[in-house]
Amino acid sequence: MVRMKGGAPALAVAAAETLQAPSSRLVITGRQGPSACGPVRVKRGDRVHAGQVLFGPEPGEDGAGLVPVHSPVSGKVVDVQPAPGPDGEMVPAVTVEVDELGERVEPLARPWEPTQPGQWPAAELRRFLRTAGVDGAACPGQGPLYERLEQGLDGGVLVVNAVGCEPGLPSEMLVAGAYPQAALLGAAALGRAAGASRVLVAVHRGGPADEALTRALAEQAELRTGSMPVEIVRLADVDWFWVPVLLAREALAAAGIRRRGGRSGEPSPPMMVESAATAVAAGEALLEGWPVTERLVTVSEQGRLRAVRVPIGTPVASLLQGHGEQETSETPVLVLVGGPLQGACVPDLQVPVTKSVSAITAMPPAMHFRPEAACIRCGRCVEACPVGLLPLYIARAAAAGQMAEARALGARECLECGACTVLCPSYRPLLQWIRLAKYGRARRPGNGGDL
Amino acid sequence: MSRQSVRVLAQDVFRGIWPENPPLRMLIGMCPVLAITTAAINGLIMGIAVTAVLLMTGLVVSALRRVIPDDVRLPVFVVVIATAVTVTDLLLAGLVPAVHDALGIFVPLIVVNCIIFARAEAFASKHPVPRALADGLGMGIGEIWGLTLVASIREVLGNGTFFGYPVLAAGLEPIRVFSMPPGAFITLGVLVATLNWATKAYREAAARRAAGRVTGVVASGAVAGGGGR
Amino acid sequence: MARATPLQASLLIQPAPHVHAREASLDRMLGMSLIAVSVPTVAAIVRYGAPAVGVLAAAIAGALIAEALCCLARGERLTSRAWMASLLTGILLGLTLPPSMPLWMVVVGGVVAVGLGKHVFGGLGQNIFNPALVGHVFLLASFAATVSAGWAGQQPVLALARQGEVVPDHLPLLWQGGPGPLGAASPLATYAAAVLMLGWRLGRWMAPAGFFVGSAVLAMALGWDPVFHWLVGLAPLTVAFFVHDPVTTPVGAGGQLLFGVGVGLLTVLLRIYGSYVEGAAFAVLVMNALTPLINRMSVAWSRRRLQALREARPLKVSTQAQWARDLRSVLVLVVVTAVSGALLATFYQAMSPIIASRQQARAIEVGLKGILPEAASFEQVAEVDGTPIYEARDATGRPLGLALFVDAQGYGGPIRLAVGIDMEAQRLIGVRVVEQSETPGLGSRITEEAFLAQFEGKSMDDPFMPGEDIQAISGATISTMGVADGVYAAIEMAREAWEGR
């Protein structure tokens, strides 16, 4: 397994920036995350206010299972045609032309004390968060957030991932460090909504999130000791890949919670992992009563990191600063939603940011790729796999067309982290074969859903 | 034993003697047929050895057929067959050493003879002991007469003797080729062709007779035999 | 709007992951392995000089020729991976051979190593057996004497040790190994290469660990010094290269440990009890054959773990039902085999006197008649220490001499001799070897006419000592001694029988 020893990477990132030159046209898609959003509620020519529902359930209906999408700005709807989402799939979309009027709708009703999520009934809290458009963000392979919250933890543990998903891409760390108060509050809220008994916020020891969150927690006693206690768990030696189960285990171990009962036969406590971005969204919704209309995106260009807060619907092009005159128009470049290991390529720079876009990476393609060779059974993929699968055998079965065998070997359990493919000396596209066995096609479906 | 089961057993025995005769109809176990049939006595003894192995193997495999798990049945068969063959080999070495030496390595090769394995897998492991024994006996008898026939032809033609006794008239030379490998192939080929032709002719005649009975004596002109039809 | 961005640049679409670890490259791995193998190569050249260069060059030549031909036959280009891998195979093959190998043999070995050891299985990454060792074993089987012999007539250290001769201390053995294969020229250099392989993450840690454990356990159990076994013969090369070959060794750490233990055990076992002097090559090849099975165990283990994960239950090693089924199969097989074995043993006991007497008659016919062709009959006239002494008579009944069978101790087992003695003339009529299991190509040459002819006509009073009145077969001292001792004992017994007459 690939681990990063020692502490967090040295990052010199201050507060989040806001966009220098915001776009005048926003494309808000009807698929913002794993959950369904509902039918479109506006039509061409309508004037919308900031915070108005663009996709959502019928007025008066509860719309269980639908997570509405709200307009980040006031403006005029110029188009309701489908548009490509961040991964290129055509999804329903509303294009809004921003105007200067800045009209806003009323804030959302918060019947209970927003800073005391423990006081809310769980069902009400879930309804509130859903109506505010809080969606599970940036977790490959996890189902819709509210399904998981409904299923509940029965007194188990919620782990909030403020560590990160990709090596060198500290998006979770940055969002938690930039909005520590919201992160903690949101963590408590999610815990309450899920029926957890404890919430652990996992951070990198000594990293920027660690400091900010520790200070924020010190100031908010009720979050430490209230009915929904939040703890910060500091991890020193962390697997960088997004591995929900493993991260949760490490966090539990660090918090001193017994994992498996082992010989005594106790089952391990149920656990759930959410990203810090979701927690921050939930926290901000509670604090301000304002639906989710913006998010912090970590932009990595040529190795330089920035954190930019943008309204959803901003085209990706606006986030990239470019390299000036050095780049010619013929230089191929990769623009990814996510990081270099798991990110999906953006087919066009005009695709919009959604609630689940946590990072944008612009990088030149790796030039040292060699042609594929035969598997030499070195076993590096086996060492690298965080789930403990045998990628060489799954890929071999998939390449031979034996999909049933490939699935029996664990193709469905694959987290698609890409570690095996990165480390294969024969440059074999292991992950593509595994995806073929998993989905029947070699492309991971976009943020809009899971097969 | 009921009439029915005696009939079944008889059929099991007969099957190996003619319709599924191993060397001459099914053409399996060719190794000994071609290699050792230079003298009639060799063929006879080899046939007896194969019969002994078939009986021993059939008995054990059939008796244990419910006990042997499916995933190890082939290794178990091999062990049983090898034991039976080794016992046979030792008996031959002690009782008829000259023939044993002539048969040489082909006695141990009975272990991999298709006949034994095929009957164990296809029949003995799926049927009760009496039937397995009957089948083994039938196949064995078929093997005996098949081998002895081939060997007799080759010995007479190629060596001028029959079971060691000279049979050629004085002045006639035996055709040495028949004692050599090419002669084995030629003998076998001609024999099998002849038997096939004979079988076919017999079947056609039987079919004609059956057809004749049904349609009456329309086609026949002069009717042989006495009055009536 | 934003400034000049990669907007105008062409966007690439490709599936994730978009990066690749630079150091995870087969070419790089091969290149670094070649650097590692250069250490023992240089040590071998320094120690043995020009002959070492010749052997290595010939092995490399053979390997590369075969690689080129096979790539041509396949219609593939000769990629850098292909020729680097074959270069490595060639060097390793060269290091397993003694410096005195004739070069044409080495070239053949190289061609066999790459052609038979690698390409018939499908090329790079598809072979089951280690190619260099395939070539080595091919040469060993074909030209046993030349490969087993040492340098300038000296026996390899391992052979000396097996014969019970005193072995030098370990420490000097470390940086200057005794006579033997090139790779043992300096075990220190070869182990340095092992350290490089492991340090550069080209090797598997578990496999050498397993080797040391396995070989030490068996060596100590049999009363040998394990460190000695780690320093001589092909052991350093095995630890440094052969157990690390990714293609022919298991993929998981547990499997690699098992592999190493197996190689260690078999190496020691074959070295002490096998008919070839060095067992390590065969040990590795046998474990290579078992590697697919070990890998299947890893797959089965992974599958069970996944099943447990899916059903969210704690993992047990195997469910009860599966254990019961497996156990039953094993038991049935064991019982059937044991019963068959017992049956056969009893039967054999019963039949063996009959068979033995028949064989005796035959042996007399063949063996003794070979020495005394004019004899028409052999009659047992005496028995000394359980050995029957026969008198040969011709057709007229005239006695021709005494004849008997005698057993002597050879290198690989007992040697059965037929000895004919003319007591009147006090001379040996002749000697024949009836049974032997000596090393093919070496000790087995005692059956040759040229060797046995020297016994004909010798006086009964001769000392029968190799080196004195008996010409020994070079490289087969013990076998010669066995025959001479046997003849001496036969004469003694005949004398006793004659006097007791």
Residue B224 pLDDT > 70: no
**Cα–Cα distance measured from residue A71 to residue A294, given in angstroms and rounded to the nearest whole number:** 10
Residue A279 pLDDT > 70: yes
More confident residue, C355 or A11: C355
Nearest Cα of chain C lies from the Cα of B21 at a distance, in angstroms, of 30
Mean pLDDT throughout C72-94?
90
Q: Hey, which residues does C427 pair with through a beta bridge?
A: C422, C459
Q: Where in chain C are all domains bearing CATH 1.10.3430?
A: 26-309
Tell me the domain boundaries of chain A: 3-12+110-288, 380-439
| Interface touch A340/C24, C-beta < 8 Å | no
Of B69, B87, B91, Cβ closest to residue C329: B69
DSSP string, A220-234: -HHHHHSSS-EEEEE
Predicted local distance difference test score (pLDDT) of residue C309: 64
Interface residue A300 vs chain C (CB under 8 A): no
Predicted local distance difference test score (pLDDT) of residue A329: 57
Q: Are C11 and A349 in contact (CB under 8 A)?
A: yes
**pLDDT band per the 50, 70, 90 thresholds, residue C5:** very low
Give C328's contacts in chain B (Cβ within 8 Å). Answer: 69
Strand ranges in C242-394 using DSSP code E only, listed in sequence order: 375-384, 387-394
Predicted local distance difference test score (pLDDT) of residue A445: 46
CA distances to A161, A167, A388 from A5, rounded to whole Å, are: 18, 12, 20
Predicted local distance difference test score (pLDDT) of residue B102: 75
| Statement: the pTM of the whole predicted model exceeds 0.90 | no
Mean pLDDT throughout C32-47?
93
Q: Pinpoint the alpha helices (H) of A345-402.
A: 380-384, 391-399
CA distances to B42, B84, B85 from C351, rounded to whole Å, are: 22, 15, 14
Architecture in CATH for domain C26-309: Orthogonal Bundle (1.10)
| Interface touch C16/A342, C-beta < 8 Å | yes
Q: Are C7 and A331 in contact (CB under 8 A)?
A: no
Nearest Cα of chain A lies from the Cα of C246 at a distance, in angstroms, of 4
List pLDDT tens digits, range A136-174: 765 555 667 888 788 777 778 888 888 877 766 778 888
**Cα–Cα distance measured from residue C128 to residue A257, given in angstroms and rounded to the nearest whole number:** 47
List pLDDT tens digits, range B94-121: 888 777 877 878 888 888 888 899 999 9
Mean pLDDT throughout C374-390?
81
Interface residue C373 vs chain A (CB under 8 A): no
Residue B90 pLDDT > 70: yes
Tell me the domain boundaries of chain B: 3-195
Greatest mean pLDDT among A116-125, B141-150, C383-392, C447-456: B141-150
Residue A12 pLDDT > 70: no
Nearest Cα of chain A lies from the Cα of C125 at a distance, in angstroms, of 4
List pLDDT tens digits, range A332-352: 788 888 888 778 888 888 889
Predicted local distance difference test score (pLDDT) of residue C172: 67
Mean pLDDT throughout A58-80?
84
What is the average pLDDT value for chain C, to the nearest integer? 84
Mean pLDDT throughout B64-70?
89
CA distances to B161, B165, B174 from B169, rounded to whole Å, are: 11, 12, 10
Question: What's C310-352 look like in SS3?
Answer: HHCCCCCCCCHHHHHHHHHHHHHHHHHHHHHHHHHHHHHHHHH
Mean pLDDT throughout C107-123?
90
Nearest Cα of chain C lies from the Cα of A111 at a distance, in angstroms, of 39
Of chain B residues 7-66, which have a CB less than 8 A from chain C? 64
CA distances to A121, C41, C236, C275 from C278, rounded to whole Å, are: 78, 20, 13, 9
Predicted local distance difference test score (pLDDT) of residue A142: 64
Q: Are C193 and C50 in contact (CB under 8 A)?
A: no
Residue A242 pLDDT > 80: no
Count of alpha carbons within 13 Å of C399, Cβ hemisphere only?
Answer: 15
**pLDDT band per the 50, 70, 90 thresholds, residue C1:** very low
Q: Are A78 and A261 in contact (CB under 8 A)?
A: no
A3-12+110-288: CATH class: alpha beta
Interface residue A327 vs chain C (CB under 8 A): yes
Q: Are A160 and A200 in contact (CB under 8 A)?
A: yes
**Cα–Cα distance measured from residue A202 to residue B92, given in angstroms and rounded to the nearest whole number:** 81
